[in-house]
Each structure stands twice: as C-alpha cells, then as structure tokens.
Amino acid sequence: MAVIGKIREKSALVMIVLGVGMLLFLLPLDQLQSLFTGDNNNLGEIGGKEITGQEFNQKVENAIVLWENQNQNTASLQVRESVKEQVWNEIVREVVLISQFKELGLAVCPEELFDMVQGKNPHPQVQQAFTDPNTGAFSSSQVLQFLKSLETMPAENRSQWLSFEDGIEKERVATKYNNLLTKGLYATSSLIKRTYKEQNEQRNIKFVAKRYNSVVDSTITVTNEELKAYYNEHKSEYKQDASREIEYVKFEVKPSDADILEAKKWIQETAADFTVTDNDSSFVVYNSESPLDESYYGIDALPIGIDSAFFSQEVGATTPVYEQNESFLVTKLSSTKMVPDSVKARHILLKTTQQFTDTLLEARLDSIKSEIGKGADFAVIAKEISEDVGSAIEGGDLGWFKEGVMVPAFNDACFDGQVGDMVIVQSQFGFHLIEVLKQADKSRKVQFSTVVRKNAPSNETFDNVFAQASMFFTNNGTTESFTKATETDEYAKLVATGIKVSDKNIQGLTEARELVRWSFNNEKGNISAPFQFLNTFVVAHLAEVREEGIATIDQVEIQVDLGAKKKKKAAMFIEEMSGETTLDALAAKIGSKVENVQSVNFAAYAIPSMGQELRVNGMVATLQQGQVSIPVEGQTGVFVIQVDAVTSAPETTDYSAIKTQLNQSNGAITGQLLEALKEKYEVVDRRYKFY
C-alpha cells in the first residue's frame, strides 16, 4: 500500500494523460433534471458523436471519487471549479487523438507494458517508487513481490494500480505519436540555405509613397455594394469566437439606518455579557461574525483599532464599542504571556503519505529522540534521514525565525517551550522532532478576543431592493424601454463586452456564472429577471450576440467601412502613380519625395520608416538592382520601389544555427495539433446550457 501511495504522489503527468477530472457541478434543479431526463440533454458533439449529459456527468462523478480517494479529502468547490475543463478535454482527446492512434496502428503490446513495469526499462515513476532511498538502487524483485500481493490488497488499491498501468500505456502511445510528428517535420538542406539567404541578404532601396492619411476619410464615398464586396473579400479577417455583450443595471443592497441602529443596539447588549463571561473564546465563536483570533500581539504590532494604552490593561479589561470597516466591535484582553521575539531551532522531518505506515512515524521519531538523549548526534541523524532537504544539509538547523513564520504546531512548540526542549509535533508536512536551541529576550504579548457585528442589511431591506429591481424589470422589458430608462440619471447602465461561454466573472461582477449562462441561452434583445449576486441585484439586457465563425457585416461595420475606403484610396493612388519610369519624376508628379532605406531584409518583420509592409518586402526581394516596381498597395499607403544596391549573404558552410531555428519552429507546430484536430472533427461544446 505504501507503494501505491508513492506512485499516487508522483504521478501528476500520468493523471493528466488520464484526464483525471476533479469537478462536481452544482446545478439548479430544473437544469439537473433536464441533464438526465430531458429530450435535449446533448452537451456537445465531437466528430459527429453526441456527448450526453448522463455520459458526461458519470465521468465527472467517477473522477471526483478517484480524486477524493487519492487525496483522502473531500474535493472543495474551489478545487472542482479550478479543473472544470479536465473531464471535457479528456473526452475530446479520447475521440480525436485515439482515432488518430488507431488509424496509424499505434499501440503498446503486452511485452512492452511488461518492460515498462518490471523489465529492464521501467517507467520513471515505477523506478522511483521501487528505489531504496538509502541505497538509490532499483529493485525489480520488489516490483514482482508487489504485483503478486495485489490480489490480497483492498479493491481500491488494485483499481489504483490498474489506472496507473492504463495511464502509462496511454502516455507511451501519445509519445509515439508525438515522435512521429516531430520526426516527420524537418528542415531540408535547400530550405536551410534559402532561409540563410533571406535572413542575411541586404538591399538598399529608394521609394516614393502616398499615404492613405493624406486624404481624409470623410471625402471618400463608398456604396453599399462596395461595402458588401469588401466584406466578402475579407471574411477570413472577421473570424470570431462566440461571445456576448450585455448592458445591466445594479441594485445594491446596503444596510438601512434602521439596520445600523439594530446592529449597534445588539453589540451594546452583547458587550455587557462579554464583560462578565469567563470563557472568552467560546463567547466569540458563538456570537461574533468574524472568526476567533488566537494570536498573541506585541506592543509594536497591535491589531487595527486597538490603542497602545489598552495593551497595558489587566486581563479581563474590555474596550468601549467602536466602529471599523462598517462593523461594530468590542474587544477584550483575554490573556498575556512572555514570549521570545525570535527562536533558533533545528528539526528532523518525516513526511506523511497518508498510508497506514504514517502511524509508525511518531514512534520512529520517539526512538530517535531517545538515541539523541543517550548521546547520538542530532545533526548527523538529520543529514541522514530528515526529508526537509533544505535544512537537512545543515544538520536540521533552521536558523533564527520570528513568531508566525512556521506553521502553527511548529511555531507553538518553539515559542511556548524552553531552550533545550526536544518535542515531537505533527503538521501538514509530517512529523517533526524539534530541538529549541536558543531564544531571544522575552517580552509581554497579549491575546485579544473581539466580538464583531457587521452592519448587514436585514431581510426587509433585501425585500425592498428586490422589489425595486423587479419593478424595473417589469417596466423595462424591451430593448427600447431599457435603453430609455438607462439614459436618465436614475439608473446607471454598465456594459460588459467580450463575454466568453466559459467565463465565471464579467466586468463589474464576480461569481456571475448564472448571468453568463443566461446570456448564452437567450436571444439578442432579451431582458433578464433580477439576478442576485451577494448583496446586489442585477437586471441585464442582451445587447449583442456574436456566434462562433464569421462576424456579420453589421458587427464589423466600422472595420468594413474603413477598409473599403482604404481600398478605394489605393485604387485612386495606383492609377495616379502609374506610368512614370523614374522615382524623381513620380515624386514631382504627386508632390512627394524620394526616400531611402538601408539594409532591407526579406526575413525582417518590418521595414524602417515604413513599418510592417509585407507586400513591399516581398516586392523588394523580386526586383533586380536598378529596377523600378509597379505601384504596390500596402497597409499604410501605396509605394513604388527601386532597389539601389544588393549586398549578398556572406558565403558559409555552417548552417547549424539556421537548422536549429527551423527545427524549433517545426516543434512548435506540433503543439498546435490538438486544436487543428478539434477543428477537423468539428467539436461543438454546449455545456453552457447546463453548467
């Protein structure tokens, strides 16, 4: 079982390959029912294969169980949310990648899997799990013994091992596939030589330019037909992901004057009882709206709101009621003690792995403590067995540290103990054998207990604000009425643009997943009923719907208008600049000048004084020395170029740097494989309908 723990602890990569999901989604009841029983419970499609709600949810539940078994803990909502995409991504990989593996005949044969587990070339994680930490030697006999004992182990352990084997098998197939891709892309000798020339050949040029900004856009008229023609020619430039734009009004719930008076009355009555209680910590736990603070404070680090004069009071002293951060508070001086300002200590750490052997760690440290008591050298033992590598090389010495630097159990043992104490404590890292070496001078520190009552809105206040939001929704249920209402000073309209289907937050709102889902499940122009986000109600208007694919001409109206006008200017300029055989004559004709640029390089991203003008760069590379080009339509204007001088690339026989560069570029291309396959298989993701 300890071996299972080692593999589990070290198998992050394999778990990624396996696609271990760690998310359990919380759905409203109506959506949960439709996910399992509705006719339209399709969460998406991958290569024509439908992914149903039942299938997806079952994989999620299985992944959650696996994660909780591995971590011996309940998966929190934060953990589940942080890996929301893993189950879906694994389903996508299963369909698109495994289909490629099968098509290519890639697999792992039994002999190969045997070699990965107990042969001469074991998988790195198998090798690590069955290596003696003292000798550093791998033991294949221990592997065999472990595999034989699997039949007598609990089903959970057998299942974990089978999952591990499945994971390394998938990892090996994926590695084979990646190697095929990597080896299939390589730089040929002709490509290497051409690239070298493109990067090192330099050309000095002259040019005459007429910039688009020399003619004001307002003087150019384009027809609807010209706009449509430009849009159709440039559709590829208007690709977009699915997104939404909403306009919304916030109705914030703030405590009323009556709510504040009620909170003040409560704290004053509670303060009287707090003064006489003999169990401050329990009183705070049961009555305060903020957690109990068990820290001890020095005179130079008092909590905000506590006067230094109060620090010198006797135990049991209580402050008057005071206000802080929109709350009423009363604080009691509960305890004092003399504590060193800093401590020097050393330790030996034995890490826990959540296995049954952990119960033996404390006993082992107790035995070591006895040996040290009989004369064994603490530092020598720490170097040999302590699993805190950083301090082990120093004989376990941690040096001097202030209070609060170490984890609580470790901190308390050092600061509450005495010089020479040797104690065993447990923390989240494992079991520690600690020796307190030195303590600085002690000073008075005090513990405060504080009862906090926040100025929170009452249910009545919530109901009143909800009624306001509901009335706004009732009276402004159309785009026209919503727009008209938000043009007044009474309601401030906020706008959130570029909302993606997977977003949880939007501009101005956090944890707004339900509003994001609403925006993707409704039509443009719809108005939402009030959403509640903590102390805020929101009424939203779905102002724009952008579907994945090509944006409509209306959605890119400004870009199309600017582009069509620029195209029309280019046509005018080309006609005007044609026919001249010298740059001087052309410059005189259009009232411009001849400009010079040195060292133009075909492989360069931009040309000095021009910027990123790829068409110009391409034209320069094709011209002979002295040749004048035709007018070239560029990004910022129309150009006529003449090559003044050509400096050839230096002769060389060493192309190694270019070859490395090209191979690295090819390697980056393989990283785009999954996205290309997803596009090929037309992956459709509709999870937003439910999650």
Q: What is the pLDDT of residues 396-450, one digit of tens each?
A: 999 999 988 999 899 999 998 999 999 999 988 889 999 999 999 999 999 999 9
Q: Would the pLDDT of 304 be above 50? A: yes
Residue 545 burial (CB count, 10 A): 18
**Which DSSP category does 527 fall into?**
B
Q: Dump pLDDT digits (tens) for 156-184.
A: 777 778 888 888 888 899 889 888 888 88
Q: What is the third-level CATH fold of 342-440?
A: Chitinase A; domain 3 (3.10.50)
Instruction: Return phi, psi of residue 433, to 5°.
Output: -100, 115
Q: Would the pLDDT of 504 be above 80? A: yes
Q: Do 202-238+556-647 and 342-440 have matching folds?
A: yes
Give residue limits of the domains in the chain. 2-182, 202-238+556-647, 243-254+458-547, 257-339+450-454, 342-440
Q: Would the pLDDT of 121 be above 70? A: yes
* Range from 134-143, 211-220, 269-278, 534-543 carrying the lowest mean pLDDT: 134-143
Output the pLDDT for position 19. 33
Q: How confident is the model at residue 691 (pLDDT cuts 50, 70, 90)?
A: confident
| Average pLDDT rounded to a whole number, residues 337-350 | 93
Cβ(181)–Cβ(670) under 8 Å? yes
351 forms beta bridges with 430
| Average pLDDT rounded to a whole number, residues 279-286 | 95
The pairs formed by 468-473 with CB atoms below 8 angstroms and a separation of 24 or more are 468/251, 468/537, 469/251, 469/530, 469/537, 469/538, 469/539, 470/529, 470/530, 472/249, 472/251, 472/539, 473/527, 473/528, 473/529, 473/530, 473/539
CA dist 570 and 230 (Å) reads 13
Q: Would the pLDDT of 56 be above 60? A: yes
Q: How confident is the model at residue 355 (pLDDT cuts 50, 70, 90)?
A: very low
Strand (E) positions, 355-466? Answer: 397-402, 422-427, 430-439, 442-454
CA dist 359 and 362 (Å) reads 7
Output the pLDDT for position 363. 84
The encoded tokens of residue 192 equal 């290497």
| Average pLDDT rounded to a whole number, residues 469-491 | 95
* Range from 21-30, 296-305, 527-536, 546-555 carrying the lowest mean pLDDT: 21-30
CATH number of 202-238+556-647: 3.10.50
Q: Please report, for the chain, how many H helices and E strands are present, in that order.
A: 27, 21
Q: Would the pLDDT of 133 be above 70? A: no
Q: Dump pLDDT digits (tens) for 567-616.
A: 999 999 999 999 999 999 999 999 999 999 999 999 888 898 898 999 99
Output the pLDDT for position 623. 93
Output the pLDDT for position 140. 80
Q: Would the pLDDT of 70 be above 80? A: no
Output the pLDDT for position 35. 44
Residue 156 burial (CB count, 10 A): 13
Q: 69 or 233, which is more confident?
A: 233
* Range from 99-113, 541-555, 571-585, 634-648 carrying the lowest mean pLDDT: 99-113
Output the pLDDT for position 359. 59
* Range from 76-90, 97-111, 114-128, 518-532 carrying the lowest mean pLDDT: 76-90
Mean pLDDT of the chain: 87
Output the pLDDT for position 40. 58
Q: Dump pLDDT digits (tens) for 15-37.
A: 333 333 322 233 343 443 444 44
Cβ(496)–Cβ(246) under 8 Å? yes
CA dist 148 and 126 (Å) reads 16
CA dist 687 and 691 (Å) reads 6
Residue 627 burial (CB count, 10 A): 10
Q: Would the pLDDT of 336 be above 70? A: yes
Output the pLDDT for position 463. 96
* Range from 84-98, 271-285, 301-315, 398-412 carrying the lowest mean pLDDT: 84-98
Output the pLDDT for position 358. 57
pLDDT > 70 fraction of the chain, expressed in percent and rounded? 92
409 vs 342, 399, 414, CA distance in Å?
Answer: 16, 18, 9
| Average pLDDT rounded to a whole number, residues 69-88 | 74
CA dist 7 and 552 (Å) reads 53
Output the pLDDT for position 643. 95
Q: Residue 585, class by beta-carbon neighbours within 10 Å (0-12 exposed, 13-18 middle, 19+ buried)? A: exposed
